[in-house]
Amino acid sequence: MFCGVSKADFLEEEAPRLEEWLNRNYQGEMSYMANHFDKRLDPRLLVDGAKSIVSLALNYFPDNQQKDSNAPKISKYAYGKDYHWVIKDKLKELFQYIQDSIGEVGGRVFVDSAPVMDKAWAKKSGLGWIGKNTNLIHPKAGSFFFIAELIIDLELEYDGPIKDFCGTCTACIDNCPTEAIVEPYVVDGSKCISYLTIELKDEILPKEFKGKMDSWMFGCDVCQDVCPWNRFSKKHNEPLFNPHPDLLSLTKNDWEDLTEEVFQEIFRKSAVKRTKFKGLKRNIDFLSDTNE
């Protein structure tokens, strides 16, 4: 885990970028992205008296992957237990430790569940730079991290941002199956496979993406898998992120014949539950129909 601290302030650089991104409708049907615009840019509107953002990055890189190379694919972050609950418990422990150590401290914990611009704060806290795929990249550990934060009313010593080391590399842009990275550092969310397989709730996926899904049924790791910085990724040491014993051994046929009973067993406390059985079947059927 990495930790960095930044001053709770208005995100001046991010404000015009967010506005432009929303104006281009890159959020697709994620209408919540346009909500609480002011709070997204100023944590002091989210937490009374906020003075510091403590950003944390928790590794989730697995040591094993799906065995059948022809099977529909699941993003690595969803192999184990739902990260929201795993990390929130850790943050609550940290917050309690802070209060036990120095007395009453006001604040809140956040894990990808409120209008907080996680990556912007992690960048300001020196946990990495924002890559051309818009993921946070740590120079010694890559990008397979969950980001979370404590926003507290305590003044601390602040860290600063580090340099962007993407250089002239365009691997993520060149390899995105749906060309969702429309320019360096800008992703059209409505074209992203993660959006299509998780956020989009339509009965059928848009036909213009037939043959372009690269066999992903939940999320997508392509822009991270091809990133040179992820050669530094190391296996996580969080048992709760380990997959269900059967998950990685399921074959292409097993997935195509998936029953709701098996779905409920394998993904009992998983982030994959977000799609529900019906949504995952929709995605698998879409891949089958296009012979991917």
Q: Give yes or no: 63 in active site.
A: no
In this predicted structure, what is the pLDDT of residue 292? 44
In this predicted structure, what is the pLDDT of residue 290? 54
Q: Which of 112, 153, 214, 254 is catalytic?
A: 112
Cα separation, 136 vs 147, whole angstroms: 9
* pLDDT per residue as tens, the chain (292 positions): 899 999 999 999 999 999 999 999 999 999 888 889 999 999 999 999 999 999 999 999 999 999 999 999 999 999 999 999 999 999 999 999 999 999 999 999 999 878 999 999 999 999 999 999 999 999 999 999 999 999 999 999 999 999 999 999 999 999 999 999 999 999 999 999 999 999 999 999 999 999 999 999 999 999 999 999 999 999 999 999 999 999 999 999 999 999 999 999 999 999 999 999 999 999 999 998 754 4
Secondary structure (H, E, C), 2-36: EEEEEECCCCCCHHHHHHHHHHCCCCCCCHHHHCC
Cα separation, 155 vs 169, whole angstroms: 38
Cα separation, 89 vs 99, whole angstroms: 16
For the entire predicted model, the pTM comes to: 0.94
Do the beta carbons of residue 123 and residue 129 sit within 8 Å? yes
